[in-house]
Structure 1
Amino acid sequence: MKTTNKLPPRNTGTQLNYANQNLSIFQNQKPINLRRYTTGAEEMRRHQNSYGSQKRNESNEIQKQTKGKCQHNTADKQFTENGRQQHVSSLSDSQSQQPPLVMIKCQAKPQFENFKNHANAKNHNFITQQQRNEKPHSFKQIAQVNSKHLSNCNELIKFQVYYVGDLQNAILNQNAKNSEMFREHIVVSFTYIPLIQKSEIDIQQIEDKKLNIPLARNKKYNKTIIFDMDETLMHCNEDENDKCQFKIPIEFEDGERIVAGINIRNFAKEIIQKLSDVCEVMVFTASQDIYANQVINILDPHNNLGKRIFRDNCISLDDNHLIKHLGILNRDLRNVVIIDNSSCSFAHHLENGIPIISFYNDEKDNQLIKLYRYLCQYILPAEDVRPIILAHFKQDKLIQYETVEEAVKQLYF
């Protein structure tokens, strides 16, 4: 099957050197017989799950050498090594014989990791020689220090804020719900937001893609809430055998037909309806409209959304990467909020961006409920949303620190 530009290439992991550590960067490579149309976010998560066990084992080895307190566990080491070998073997087998995919992915999330000039990463001030012996994914130092002070009232107040409280809990308690996803989310944001911010934007692109959207009238609040779609409000299954709530047929211009499995995030329909009653709500997705419209019809059956914005209005970086630049809107940015599971998508508007962890198929997910309460309490009544967002999530300050563990410790504890 010949690859076309209507669907993204499938992603495969490539090891690059990151401050003398092996960091997996997902690079776009053209498939031979496969196409799909959600992003590589789930594939990235699966890789990090396997990669995380390796990182934890390496961290234990370093602690043993420096402190001499860790006892060598041959059985655990052998179990980890066997698991690693099985993972490498399975990757080799999958490369030689890929199973056929019926569910395809229409690039909902741009692959920010695939920058042509990776050498530029060495110039960022958050990559230093100090990272040689650090394992930022573990956050052990933070957990050991701060777990003794949870009775402090100021610390407890922080736990009440959306995202930040769950992130703190994820750092302090590795067994907490969604702990790994919150840890991975902050690591990805720390690593790639500076890369996006330092990438040049063609101003002419913004001018060419500007939208003339009439202002919503007769709303209680003059706010515009923008939702990303894939992995924020829903997830498109990669495998036809995966459990799904809905199946939608897609027929492309060349006559190709596929069936996509869709899982809707808990409270996704309700948050669109409830917010639409009091303010303007939009969906901004990097997916193509031929797929996204059918999904949005499920999310918004009563057509409450003020606007649906698709891939054609995303801004292209490096001719290959898409971001959601709020400059295409004819809106006062004091009243605009964008919610996306990839903070890189709004890296040029961190003062307007609210993070959320990715959704795949968690039937007990409650992030949108927490988000709705946060929006009602802090965002909708605000005269200017930007200082509030910066004060709560502090993503603009991540670049000031040399390591992700230092950033998390200083900003969120």
Structure 2
Amino acid sequence: MGRYDLCNRSCGCQNKQQRTAAAPRKIYRWVKIDDMPITTEIELHQFLSSKDIPHYGTEVAAGGSANFCWRIKTPLGKRSIVKHAEPFVRIMPEIPLPIERMDYEHLALTTIPNIVSTNEHVLLPQIYNYFPEEHVICMSDGGSQNLKESYKSDVGIDIPILGQRIGFWLARLHKETSQPETLEFVKRTFDSEVAKSVFRYTYNGLTSVLKQHGHDPALGERINARFGTEDASDRVCLCHGDFWLPNIQIENQDPAIEVEEEEERKLRAPVLTVIDWENVRVGNGATDVGRFAADSWLVDRFHGDKGMFEAFLKAYLTEHPLKQRDKIRLVVHFAVHIIFYSRMRWTDEEGTTKLVRLGKAMLEAVDTEDLTILARGPLAQLFSESE
């Protein structure tokens, strides 16, 4: 038996069977809580109450476009995250998105701690509750800001140290899940069609961005055909699938440790939490590296040049050197990222044009196999040593 509550036409209920016929007044009926959407704070309150989860205040958790996320206050004054998936993209409800993505996120957060070495500096959220029928995860809160926000606003953070720690952590995720026995396990466990579709998203949009900036769209078509999917030879390790700065939370600083004197202030290296595992898949780890490298290169270039990009990439390559084939895959993913996400208005129109031109030059170098161009670009350290 499910839990029930009163429902009226103004509650936002999207199930036609739960609605009464149109009437000039509110008409209430009993509906099963499990069948109701969870897209507003009122609906969230109803859901939490139906599960006997105490909560003393809620707020929308910023960031993310696919799901509904809230930060709730616990009875002890701590905060946790509630994440819910509807069968569509939150910011574009007309676009369907399979709700099974929550199953894979839960699977990742409960499986990875058992197959990958623990790290005191880079954590995963801790699962408190999972409600598979309602597609809801309740988990720990890694902090009120993500790494991209903190990079731009917090001058007291040691960015190179954080970049280094992220690089080492990601390398170990890829290296340890590439071991034969573990790899066979993750291949059986993480076979998500949603993740494969999300992987293709930027590649499918590459041609239109190139064309918009006056470049030959045929280059985008060739790159998409060659790199826009992963074949069996790419299934070499567990990948996060959406690894960039907004998906890393940074712990809140305890006000008690702040110092008054400016000369006593030191750069902090707070604990990080890697979130949003719904696109986890078995694939080529170079794509995770390429996405984070591109995003950190962009924030370095346009928000203070604090050294995130170089520290991250150096740490990763030190811990987990890449073969030439994987370096090329990394270059492509990096270039596609800066072209596609040039639309995020990192800079003015002229600067955006230069970004797209740089990404295009990198893709042309791959397309024509002229790697001398890559050795002079932002990813030069990939090719600085002979094979």
TM score, norm. by length of structure 1? 0.26
> Structure 1 or 2: larger helix share?
2
